[in-house]
Amino acid sequence: MADLNQQARQWMEKVNRQPHATACERPYDRLPKEPLLLICEQPDYDTGYMEDRRVAKDCTLSYRGNRYSVPFRCAGKTLLVRQPVAGGKIEIYHDLDVVAEHRLAEGRGAMVLDASHYAELGQRRVDRRPLAVPPMAAPELTPGPGVGHHFVPPEVEQRSLAVYEEVADVAAI
């Protein structure tokens, strides 16, 4: 193992002193210019469980067999549910903003509601009566066949039904 490590160090020294084909610089010269952080300074990688969920009309979304409330403004939207690795809670995001947080319900079939999500809903009552439509004047139609007062009915010959019976008998022969 020591021999392999020594070979790897020799190879790195050789390669890092040669100009890189893409950067056109030696890696040893470029390294001080890179804004790198030490590994201990790196932020933790988010390994939380994330899933998109559609919000129903009742301002709840389904997650792992339970329903959780969100603010009424999110009804009908698709939100991101994030469950951190530490567990015990879920965070619900719209774009990059947290719109709701809940303790994770145990079991299945639970409804986890936050009354503040529905608080303003009563104040925003929508009048469901149809809007009054102002009466419109009937459009004026130009005179023509079947329209207006200047309709002249076509002249039609009137004959007895016996004529048709006669023709029908001749056609049958």
Domain ranges of the chain: 2-37, 49-123
Amino acid 47: pLDDT: 85
Distances (CA, A) of 94 to 41, 59, 80, 102: 29, 13, 7, 15
- Which of 147, 65, 70, 142 is closest to 109 using CA atoms? 65
To the question of pTM greater than 0.85 for the whole model, the response is no
Amino acid 144: pLDDT: 56
Higher pLDDT, residue 142 or 33: 33
- The whole-number average pLDDT for the span 155-171 is 80
SS3 163: helix
Query: Which pLDDT band holds residue 157 (cuts at 50, 70, 90)?
Result: confident
Amino acid 81: pLDDT: 96
Q: Answer for the pair 70, 99: CB distance below 8 angstroms, yes or no.
A: yes
The answer to whether residue 131 scores a pLDDT higher than 80 is: no
Residues contacting 16, CB < 8 A, separation 6+: 26, 27, 28
Across the chain, mean pLDDT equals 84
- Which of 14, 32, 30 is closest to 22 using CA atoms? 30
pLDDT in tens, 55-64: 999 999 999 9
Query: How far is it, in rounded angstroms, from Cα 61 to Cα 53?
Result: 6
Distances (CA, A) of 156 to 14, 94, 121, 159, 165: 108, 73, 68, 10, 19
